[in-house]
Amino acid sequence: MTGTLPLDTVAAAPATTTHLPRLALTEQTEEPQRVRVGASLDDRLSIAGATVGGIGMGILLAGALGVIGWGWMPIVSYAWFVGIYASLTFLGHSGPAVVDRFWSVLLRSAAVVVVASLGIVVVYTLLRGWPVLKDVFAFAPHKNPLHFWLTDMSGVGPLSGLDTGGILYAVIGTLEQIGIALVITVPLGVTSAIFLAIVGGRYARVVRTLVEAMTALPSVVAGLFIYAVIILSFTHQDNGFAAALAISVLMLPIMIRSADVALRLVPGNLREAGLALGASQWSTVWRVILPTMRSGLTTAIILATAHGIGETAPVLLTSGVTSVTNFDPFHNAQTSLPLAALEFIESGRNTLIARGYATAATLLAVVLILFVLARLIGGQEAGKVSAGRLRRLARTSRATLRRVRASGHARNLAAAAGRDPDAPLDPLSAFDQLITEDDA
């Protein structure tokens, strides 16, 4: 069969050639969503009216009449809003519709509460840390705008101003501890995920169950375990390495689970194609599965890192508390960001609390960046490649083709088939043309 045959002529080819009927099928178009329940104008106006009515009633009761405190105003307004809206719906619709609208409102409210609570947590942390964070935007001539992240707390008393002292020691602690934890968890986690997803078998199912149970391991128990095993038995002092080990215990299951899920998304036919070409299981994994799931694995690693950076309880038990910079993770206390935030807040002094919130804001920012990164990378579909990567792939393919051409074997084959050995190889001709054009 010739590879250059257009697909739509396959069905019309003579009976002696192989038919590939599946290729001739028209692609199935995705059906539009069949059920659409939209809101009518009446509905939308009812919601607007009920909102105004609810808020008005809240203001009336709280402000004008003073029956309730202002703290109750949102709750009372909300109750009135739901009541008014239900009554308005009842005017124009029957019982089931009223129930439907009522529950729709409640479901929407729950989503709003969830989003709002995250928003409040983030905004509150930023606001309380603002006295420290505002220096970033101060543009004072003789001041480093990033001094909070570039100095440590040594020699800074509780009464010192916010323009001195910083969390360099905690930044270094977090970087080193997460670094060590990644060195431990990435190889272990990725290979375990490969074991679960690719090797499989009954033992793998047992391991998977245990890994899932391990995600629920209370973080403080992991910390206690490392505290007793490493610190009490060997090092006899708090250190960053023990903290890194404790974090690793908690990061491992997260990484394995999401990497396992990602690896199982590899299309089976890719695997089968690799094996059908005679590749060993190892080369299929190394050359087909891992490159395909690169984005999924990266996401797994980043998500585990985001969770690991925020772990506080195990670090509290293992790393010790200090406010001076310690580069050595194996000796002496080495505080990380979450622990520094905790210590600042617990100190109870205003300047230190502001630093604590600024530390927490730093932590939030780091987690947010990691999260967005994971989304961006993980957002790509399995096997879909970026333009740059496509170019690199084409370059590799060209090199391979040159190697194949240069090898005498291919030339001999072509000569034996009665063709010009220097002509492009036939089965590859379309592809060959494509990439040689790109070469020029």
Contacting other proteins within 193-222 (CB under 8 A) = 194-196, 198-199, 203-204, 206-207, 209-214, 216-222
Single out the residue of 51, 164, 235, 312 in contact with other proteins (rule: CB under 8 A). 312
**Token pair 């199912």 is at which residue?**
205
Phi, psi dihedrals of residue 168, rounded to the nearest 5°: -55, -45
Single out the residue of 8, 100, 163, 381 in contact with other proteins (rule: CB under 8 A). 100
Which of 47, 48, 80 is closest to 62 using CA atoms?
Answer: 80
Q: Select 353 or 410, whichever has its Cβ closest to other proteins.
A: 353
Contacting other proteins within 37-66 (CB under 8 A) = 37
Distance of closest approach, residue 49 Cβ to other proteins, in angstroms: 21
Q: What mask of x and - would describe binding to other proteins in positions 255 to 294, judged by CB under 8 A? A: -x----x--x---x--xx--x----xxxx-x---------
Read off the tokens for 354. Answer: 């502001």
Distance of closest approach, residue 405 Cβ to other proteins, in angstroms: 28
**Token pair 């050359």 is at which residue?**
287
Count of CB atoms situated within 10 Å of the CB of 141: 5
Q: Select 137 or 282, whichever has its Cβ closest to other proteins.
A: 282
Q: Select 32 or 418, whichever has its Cβ closest to other proteins.
A: 32
Q: What mask of x and - would describe binding to other proteins in positions 327 to 346, judged by CB under 8 A? A: -----------x--xx--xx
Amino acid making up residue 379: G
CB 382 within 8 Å of CB 267 = yes
Task: Check residue 324 for interaction with other proteins (CB under 8 A).
Answer: no
Read off the tokens for 380. Answer: 């790509």
Which of 152, 177, 176, 179 is closest to 166 using CA atoms?
Answer: 152
SS (H, E, C) 108-171: HHHHHHHHHHHHHHHHHHHHHHHHHHHHHHCCCCCCCCCHHHHCCCCCCCCCCCCCCCCCHHHH
Binding residues with other proteins: total (CB under 8 A): 104
Task: Check residue 121 for interaction with other proteins (CB under 8 A).
Answer: yes
Task: Check residue 234 for interaction with other proteins (CB under 8 A).
Answer: no
Task: Check residue 104 for interaction with other proteins (CB under 8 A).
Answer: yes
Contacting other proteins within 134-193 (CB under 8 A) = 187-188, 191-192
Question: What distance in Å separates the CA atoms of residue 51 and residue 84, rounded to the nearest whole number?
Answer: 8
